[in-house]
Every structure is written in structure tokens, then in C-alpha cells.
Structure 1
Amino acid sequence: MNSPVFQLVKYSRLAHERGLTAAFGGNLSVLFNGKIFVKATGAVMDDMSGAQVAVMTLDGKQVGGVRPSSEWRLHLAIYRAREDVRAIAHLHPSYSIAVSNIGERLPIITPEAELYLRRIPVVPFRPAGSEELAEEIAKVMEEYDAAIMENHGIVTVGRTLREAFYKAELVEESAKLWYLREKH
């Protein structure tokens, strides 16, 4: 298995390359040996390096001098809510944000999304980085592996970062297909 730092760098760059986020937007994390490895605050996804990975304990304490993303509460709340989750992708893909005002869930269109996601709930807007957002998302993620945050982005989870990342791609594909179907 690759180190959590290697994984974060690899999938952060890939998220930017595949258009799932831009510039500073989004963050990924991995839970490994009781510690959360997460993108540092201010790090740019397509230029990530190992020096831009923050480490935290499960009780929310920062380890080392690298400050975690402002969304660290969201990551921490999900790990506390789901024992099976070992990785989280929080990204800002365009179509998912564009359709985030459609109601309480995004319709499932493809067989893959049905199989791997079952449902894609939409969480009402809460301020980025807030405890309220973390609590809302953790509640939804107790039952689902993906969610869209109104006017903000998406969150997906997995046993590995690879799994969480590919679920994020499925969410964005679902949003794009729904958008194209509705707008044409």
C-alpha cells in the first residue's frame, strides 16, 4: 500500500486534472494508523506536495506545524460517524455545484451510480468549514457514501482514497448527465 501522503498528492493532482476541482478548492483525507492525513490549508490541488499534508489525531489535535484544511471538521465528523471509512474526497466539481439546488437528492441515472452510490442526497447550505456543515454531512454519510452540498461541492467516502475518488467521479457524471438531460 502506498503511504497516505503519496495517495493525497496523487489523487489531489488527479482531481484537478480531471476537472473535479480548481485551484484551492476541495480537500482529500486518509485515516491511517489512527491519524488523519489531510490537505493543508492554502494548498493548491494540482501542485500538491508531501510538505502540504497536515496530520491530525481523531480528537482534532494538529500534529506538526502544517495547518489542516478549513474543512478538517467535516473530515473528522465523518470518520467519527463511520468506522468503515478510511478516506474522504471533498471536491468542487462544476456540474455538481450547478445542480445543487435541485431539491433533496440528485436522480440516479447510470447503473454504476446505482450500484456504488444508491442515492446522492443534497445537503442544504451551511457555511464552509463550520461545525454545522460537519454535523449535517456526518448525519447524511452515516447512511450514504456520497452527498452534494448546496452551492459548495461534494463529499464521497471509501475504504481507500481510490474508492472515494472514483465515487466522486460518479457523482459528477450523474450531475452532468442530469444537467444535460434537463437543459436540452
Structure 2
Amino acid sequence: MTELRKTLERVAHSIHRRGLTHGRTGNLAVREGDHILVTPTGVSLADVSAAELSVLDADGRHLDGPPPTKEAFLHVAVLQSRPTAQAIVHTHSVHAAALSCLADLDQAQPLPPLTAYYGMRVAPLEVLPYFAPGDKAATEAVQQAATRSHALLLRNHGPVIAGSDLESALDALEELEHTAQIFFLTQGMRTAPLTEHQLAALQPQTPQEPRP
């Protein structure tokens, strides 16, 4: 059994244990060479087993293991659009899901940058229109949005977050959930989101080219 499979099992159990998903909702995916490992359909993240994962090819065809989650196409679409991404975490975490249900959600900035870690790990957050769970008609919209951001919010559904590995994707998901919680706690109060200058200062600095 590979370490990648063990990591996926551990992260799945951690997500459920910390209440970032409920029931049998939520799913994960990770690249393994030319294949994609995905959590199976109908299985709670609390019960995900490293030995019982769905194996897909790069185009989403089921190759081995139990049937994949019906939302596997979301993971495939994001990974196809983001060649450097290695893992995807999708949950229905309460505050992020609540954010996705707001009628007057600002499409350009659905969450104000209230914390530095949101600015570093999440922003920008792309909002997608509503599609029924498992509706593959969402594929094109997901692919396009994923070229602009690793953090997506599905309307009336929940977040889909890509990362360089599962831990990074989970870190970003938790930061999104935490910031959404702060957003709701401060409704009706004046807040002081980070400025564009403050956000820019948080981004990794590109080394300067040496002068000739």
C-alpha cells in the first residue's frame, strides 16, 4: 500500500473528525502517477480505507477499485485545468456552504479578505453557478474557473479546493471555512478587510533577475 493512499485515508478521517463534512458528503482526489485516486461513492469520509479507493485515468475513466464518487468529474476537471495541482478536497463545510447560499453574494469578492491567512491560502475565491450534485454539465464551468483560481465555491453546495498536496488543499479549505465563519459572526458590524497593498505584501516575492 502506497504512502499516498495512507495519506488520503488519514486526511479523509481528519476532515470528518473535525466536522468539516457530515454524513456521507465530501470527497477527495489525488494524482498517483498517470492515475487519479478518488474516494468511492456512498462512503463517509470517516470510513474511507486506503485499500478501497477508486482509480481513474487522467480523463476520468474508472479503471479499478469501487465505483467513484459521483462528483469525481469535478476533481478531474480541476486537475486537467491545473497541471501543478496534485490534490483536491471537496466538502460541504457549514459556513462555506452557507456562504454559497447567499442571494446577494458578490461574485467578484464573495468573501472579504479578513485575515492574512485567507489572503495567502485562498484568495481569489471563484464562485460558480448552481449545478445539481453529480451534474456533469458543470465540467466546462469548473475547468474555466480552475484556470483562474485553485479555490472554487459551488453555488448552494460547497467548496472545491486544489493544492500541491492533500495537506495544502486541506489547509486552504480550513482557512476558507474559518474566514466564512468570521464573516457571518461580524455581520452588521464594521470590519477592516486587508487592503490590496497588504494582500500584495503577503504573496511570495519573485526573485529579481540579476543585472547584466
| TM-score category (smaller protein) | over 0.9
TM-score (norm 2): 0.82
Q: Quick check: 2:53–2:65 contact (8 Å CA) kept in 1?
A: no
1:114 is aligned to 2:119? yes
Q: Which residue of 1 aligns with 2:162?
A: 157
Q: 1:111 to 1:130 in 2, by over 3 A?
A: same
In structure 2, distance between residues paired with 1:135 and 1:164: 22
Identity %: 28
| CA distances 1:97-141 after superposition (whole Å, capped 9, x unpaired) | 111122312222100111122222221211111222232222111
The runs of at least 4 consecutive aligned structure 1 residues that moved more than 6 Å come to none
Q: Which residue of 1 aligns with 2:43?
A: 43
Q: Which moved more, 1:163-172 or 1:121-130?
A: 121-130
TM-score (norm 1): 0.93
Q: 1:76 to 1:167 in 2, by over 3 A?
A: same
Q: Which residue of 2 aligns with 1:103?
A: 106
What runs of 5+ residues in structure 1 fail to find an aligned partner? none
Number of matched pairs: 183
1:16 is aligned to 2:16? yes
- From the CA coordinates, give the structure whose radius of gyration is larger: 2
Q: C-alpha root-mean-square deviation of aligned residues, in Å?
A: 1.5
Q: Which moved more, 1:160-169 or 1:114-123?
A: 114-123
Once the two structures are TM-superposed, the CA of residue 24 in structure 1 deviates from its matched residue by 0.7
What runs of 5+ residues in structure 2 fail to find an aligned partner? 190-212
Q: Which has the higher strand share?
A: 1
Q: Quick check: 2:52–2:65 contact (8 Å CA) kept in 1?
A: no
1:54 is aligned to 2:54? yes
In structure 2, distance between residues paired with 1:183 and 1:129: 36
